Structure 1
């Protein structure tokens, strides 16, 4: 079986899986490159001696340094929280394309402000720029998964939304390695630490350049009443004619879904807010989406992303450059397994199974790492090299990365992008993205204090949360792979949850066969009517003499 083979919910023309759909997903995913780079580079930049020297860290106590570091990191998440919420009206009124461009412009302004910081001006410009950059990436984290999921054919929707996660990891890979590069090649001066800040401008600039290729989401255009433009965009993206059976089926499904939404949730800016507060079905799914990001952050990933040098130091790895190198390898492992997740796992193994496997395997690894730190106490007994126990702890840390990356790293984003009605999708994604950044903020804000007071207990804490997430996923999250967006209500209404996917897939196949039979009968009826009209015309014509 080919690694790129897809499992389809219905017969699909090969032209649907064309270069245009992948190009649109790739361009939109420059937003996640912004997020990934910004998440990865900041922790290792704060560990550079040149940064500490510029802002006089040597005159501060350890608690003051931890406070500044956590403020720099967490202000970004605070901005992202509000950015995810602000993106809802932008995406609703002006569309997904304008929303993506707005996020890039705001991020560029924030990144530019940070470049003005130095020892004489103080750290205030970094604070301000981090908040503004956070607003930009928060908006992007809301709109990008929605945009891609609305374009994607069901069979490769997970893969295409996974491109968003891939962009995150590629940005993170650069972010993890850049500080190792500047620390090895440049003297400890202002230029050494400002270069990683300046690189932030690149992915946002690429998004602005690539915007010329973006087409507005057909589903958004249908919801706003721009039917002709929606059909034109859909045909361009699918590379099919307007009268193709696949396009007719997709348009019919979108129309049916919109009609159902008008009769239940309703259309308009405020209707989703009303549904979020009164409709139990919507409230339940909003809760599930938010909790997925709670469990994702409960794995400890963002504690590692933002404070990777601190994490490796707790295992016993000493020296700034050695910590940066080990962090860089961590970024490589994440990126490699993101490719595995994207190309094979997400649309084969499915969302639900990945979350269960990742939580179980990752928890075991963190228990082992925590147990080693408790027994060996490497910080209290530092050595100039890792002994066998330390090497084993590092191995299990990387094994945790292998379990986490192709499971919990991107799968919650895929699920949240596809489990809501189109009229609820923008608000729901804003809510889910804001939840992600809220949990992200709490973890990044208090991680230095957790390591200072809990020591090995930090690993046991995150390992325990990963165990709890297994029960949450098994009993509450259905499998969504291959299910059309317009059939998510049917999926979540089917019980028990762990059998819902098979039941809905079987029902969809029956519906598809009935639709095609109806089309064939309609075509036969039209042909019969045409033949009768021809015969009537022939009978009515006078005979020639």
Structure 2
């Protein structure tokens, strides 16, 4: 298959893959630029000499400094945890688009408050601002994958949700490099460390403007009974007329899905909570949470938030050297995310990428941990051949992790829930992500102080466990329409579920089109008979 080939669930007009659906996904993904930048810049900012001097880091004991750094980083994740839950409320009553506007406004307020910090006021404004910024990105992390999944044609759903992940990596790339830039071009001063904090306002501002242009999710509009508006938005998204058979089929799928869940679960704010009594719904909530446990258990956020600490453990010293190594890490992640977005997620598939990433990444972590245990690098003098090999395996780990566990859990969680539980399910998934993110960011400094090389063995072991989890419990979701996810998760064995459902959908589509064609022929024949009768009567 070629790079941009598509595996479709049914014959699809080329007009469906138009600029509108890609632009909506790209605009919404400015939210992930905010998240990626915030996740990346803070670790190196805490290591800037101008920042450490302004807030008197030298006066702290190693344990107290580790606690302070952990608090600065982790309050952001704590805020994001609650923001992802608040988003369920706003998305139900206000929709996806207005919710996104609310949360980006909260983020902008938090980013602005951080700029008030200085040596006299103390670090309080940064902590308070990061709490608010966390609430904003938590809500956005809930909204954007749902919004993109609901507007996406099935064949490119992974690719479009992948734009969200690409935005995360672009923001992260800027965040990883910005402190290298200010440290090499500016004299140590308050301005030097303030610039990285101010840059947060750029992606937030772009998203704030973009929400004015975005359209509401047509599936949310159908669920609220606003059918005329929903059909108008759907036709605009697909660039097709309401009478086109593709639109007729899609509306039929949505209506059937909504009717089934109104019967099984019922409409209303609290009804999805009642559906949690059903074991099949509980099971998918559990799977979503576990995916993010294993994602964070890979060690990615320990690296994102504390990259100088991570590279120092391998033997890299010097502020600029550490920043440069971190920046290269960001380049590798962004490059591989583009490859994942264009090719791997919709062609290679979700399951296979998770297998490859976990096995390869685990082997790399084992090597790095073993090197540190044996060589005990001190960071003095030139890097040994073993140290160079450890750096190579670190970047190789990045190459395994990025196109697999980095974005794929977001894709799966955005598509595996039904219409009535999608917002609640995504809220649960996002909350799980930020909860485990908080745990890692809160305790990583202490883990490196106490465990040394054992940190790498810990992450390597979790990655191996994730292989068994995915093999037995996660079906392949690529190309399956959102309205048929229940059928997919009901098929056993899990490894064959996608192939079985795709074949069933192919047969059903052939039957539907045959019936439509038959009705059309019958209508034409009836019209011809009526015309003949009128002619004879005349």
User: Displacement of 1:369 after TM fit?
Assistant: 0.4
User: Displacement of 1:535 after TM fit?
Assistant: 2.2
Partner of 1:18: 18
User: Displacement of 1:320 after TM fit?
Assistant: 1.1
CA contact (8 A) 1:144 1:164 kept: yes
CA contact (8 A) 1:318 1:384 kept: no
Q: Deviations over 1:443-462 (max 9, x none)?
A: 00000000000000000000
Within 5 Å, give how 1:423-462 maps onto structure 2: 423-462=420-459
CA contact (8 A) 1:54 1:119 kept: yes
d(CA) in 2 for partners of 1:516, 1:495: 29
Partner of 2:507: 510
User: Displacement of 1:2 after TM fit?
Assistant: 2.8
Partner of 1:493: 490
Partner of 2:82: 82
d(CA) in 1 for partners of 2:213, 2:19: 12
Q: Deviations over 1:305-354 (max 9, x none)?
A: 00000000000001111101000000000000000100000000100110
Within 5 Å, give how 1:371-450 maps onto structure 2: 371-379=370-378, 382-450=379-447
d(CA) in 2 for partners of 1:232, 1:193: 48
Q: Deviations over 1:240-269 (max 9, x none)?
A: 111001111101110111111111122111
d(CA) in 1 for partners of 2:180, 2:118: 21
| Unaligned segments of structure 2, at least 5 residues | none
Higher mean C-alpha deviation, range 35-44 or range 267-276: 267-276
Partner of 1:233: 233
d(CA) in 2 for partners of 1:86, 1:248: 35
User: Displacement of 1:537 after TM fit?
Assistant: 2.0
Within 5 Å, give how 1:207-246 maps onto structure 2: 207-246=207-246
TM-score (norm 1): 0.98
Partner of 2:518: 521
d(CA) in 2 for partners of 1:251, 1:528: 28
User: Displacement of 1:399 after TM fit?
Assistant: 0.1
Partner of 1:73: 73
Q: Deviations over 1:14-65 (max 9, x none)?
A: 1111111110000000000000000000000000111111111111111111
Partner of 2:471: 474
Alignment partner of 1:121 is 2:118: no
CA contact (8 A) 1:34 1:203 kept: yes
Q: Deviations over 1:497-542 (max 9, x none)?
A: 001111000000001001101110111121122122212222333x
Partner of 1:530: 527
Q: Deviations over 1:342-394 (max 9, x none)?
A: 00000001001100110000000000000000000003xx3222111000000
d(CA) in 1 for partners of 2:340, 2:360: 16
Higher mean C-alpha deviation, range 181-190 or range 209-218: 209-218
d(CA) in 2 for partners of 1:31, 1:211: 11
d(CA) in 1 for partners of 2:407, 2:58: 39
Partner SS state of residue 240, structure 2: coil
Partner of 1:201: 201
Within 5 Å, give how 1:76-475 maps onto structure 2: 76-276=76-276, 278-379=277-378, 382-475=379-472
Partner SS state of residue 210, structure 2: helix
d(CA) in 1 for partners of 2:69, 2:179: 16
d(CA) in 1 for partners of 2:158, 2:303: 26
d(CA) in 2 for partners of 1:420, 1:33: 25
User: Displacement of 1:213 after TM fit?
Assistant: 2.5
d(CA) in 2 for partners of 1:378, 1:57: 24
d(CA) in 1 for partners of 2:34, 2:260: 37
Aligned residues: 538
d(CA) in 2 for partners of 1:355, 1:482: 17
TM-score (norm 2): 0.99
Partner of 2:536: 539
Q: Among residues 479, 484, 495, which one is paired with 2:481 in the alignment?
A: 484
The CA RMSD over aligned residues, in Å, is 0.7
d(CA) in 1 for partners of 2:95, 2:246: 25
Q: Deviations over 1:256-290 (max 9, x none)?
A: 111111111221111011112x1111000000000
d(CA) in 1 for partners of 2:396, 2:318: 23
Partner SS state of residue 265, structure 2: coil
d(CA) in 2 for partners of 1:240, 1:161: 22
d(CA) in 1 for partners of 2:483, 2:457: 41
d(CA) in 2 for partners of 1:532, 1:492: 49
Partner of 2:52: 52
| Unaligned segments of structure 1, at least 5 residues | none
d(CA) in 1 for partners of 2:137, 2:381: 40
